[in-house]
Amino acid sequence: MYIVTHYPIAVLLCVATMVCWGSWANTQKLATREWRFQLFYWDYAIGVLLLSLILAFTLGSSGSGGRSFLADLHQARGQWLGSAFLGGVIFNLSNILLVAAIDIAGMAVAFPVGVGLALVLGVITTYIAKPQGNAGMLALGVAGVAVAIVLDALAYKRLAAKDRNTSAKGIALSVAAGLLMGLFYSYVARAMGEIKALDGVAILEPGKLSPYTAIVLFSAGVLLSNFLWNTIVMIKPFSGEPVPLGDYFKRGNVRLHGLGILGGIIWNLGMSFSIIASTAAGPALAYGLGQGATLVGALWGVLVWKEFKEAPPGTGKLLVAMFFFYVLGLAILIASKI
């Protein structure tokens, strides 16, 4: 199986994670012009599992190091299989709330508030689970991101001042998504064993999971829990009328289903890069850098989707300050491992 051992390569993978996690929601923006986000999300969950299986039977089963995917799955203890699966269940609930927030408030708000809050909590909980890296610099980097979250919330408050109900709902959903999203990664990281080198060959900790097996169990948790979480928000949506399940088959076409599956593949490609990079960068740093996706998502929302074009004068300064503190926080996070 392919394992990353060099820190610079791990950082590059984390940057790729950032781009993937910050860009997948564009598929949602395109698809939900024609149907509700709940219908999009079924295909998204399928795409997540599909990508994990492709990686497990390719990169996860080739090479001389570690264990192949099926061998690793066979030897894994139920405790750690369950931990990675639970991570997927928690993530899926948080991501559905995030998707709902994007649907109501847009990417430029949902990402900085929801994903930014997830970055803060995720770095803390993941560091507690596996303490690697400079704790002081990690804390300083997280503080920079926290300032950016506050600035973005203030900018959105100015934009949505005419519709206070929508403003409150969009921010509330983003916060709820962030609180849950800050927890899931630690369950996946905890399920993976330490990787040690013996005579140049990677040796995995017995009973625990390889990165590729952890991703598959996580993805299975996403898809299976979708039958609970997504069904609930179809019956009781946060806005609009209930969504009939039959619309998935009646209104769907190749393009719409393809956009959903592509969105899931893009997101899980980022997740896979993050998990693979965590062997060299440490889980806390890998998660924190990946959640720089907030910056990427906000850029899409501001520059491409023009979500703040009707904002009152002065809002642009808040957005510029928000981007500055995000970049500063991410730079400090990278330096924390050097």
pLDDT in tens, 25-44: 899 989 998 999 999 999 99
Q: How many domains does the chain have?
A: 1
Rg (C-alpha) for the chain, rounded Å, is 19
Place of tokens 């820190």: 7
Q: What is the mean pLDDT of residues 58-72?
A: 89
- Which of the four pLDDT bands, split at 50, 70 and 90, describes residue 104? confident
Give the pLDDT score at 164. 54
Quick one: pLDDT band at residue 90, thresholds 50, 70, 90?
very high
Of the chain, the percentage scoring pLDDT greater than 90 comes to 53
Question: Is 326 inside any structural domain?
Answer: yes
Bridge partners for 195 per DSSP:
204
Amino acid at site 30: L
**Which residue intervals of the chain are DSSP H helices?**
7-23, 25-31, 37-56, 69-75, 78-105, 107-110, 116-129, 135-159, 164-191, 211-235, 247-250, 254-281, 283-290, 293-299, 315-335
Residue 197 within any structural domain of the chain: yes
Q: Is residue 2 part of a domain?
A: no
Would you place residue 155 in the very low, low, confident or very high pLDDT band (cuts 50, 70, 90)? confident
pLDDT exceeds 60 at position 253: yes
% of the chain surpassing 70 pLDDT = 96
Residue 223 to residues 38, 216, 252, 253, 333, Cα–Cα distance (Å):
13, 11, 19, 21, 32
> What average pLDDT does range 98-113 have in this prediction?
81
* Per-residue confidence band for 140, with pLDDT thresholds at 50, 70 and 90: very high
Q: What is the mean pLDDT of the chain?
A: 89
What SS3 class is residue 197? strand
User: Is 325 a member of any domain?
Assistant: yes
CA distance 312 to 306: 14
CA nearest 148: which of 282, 280, 331, 338? 331
Give the pLDDT score at 120: 86
Parent domain of 90: 7-335
pLDDT confidence bin for 16, thresholds 50/70/90? very high
- Distance between CA atoms of residues 151 and 156, nearest Å: 9
In whole angstroms, what is the distance from residue 335 CA to residue 338 CA?
Answer: 5
Q: In the predicted model, is pLDDT for residue 118 greater than 80?
A: yes
pLDDT at 130: 80
In a domain, 1, yes or no: no
Residue 193 pLDDT grade (very low, low, confident, very high; cuts 50, 70, 90): confident
167 Cβ contact partners less than 8 Å away, ≥ 6 residues apart: 105, 156, 157, 159, 160, 161
Q: Is residue 37 part of a domain?
A: yes
Q: Give the pLDDT score at 133.
A: 82
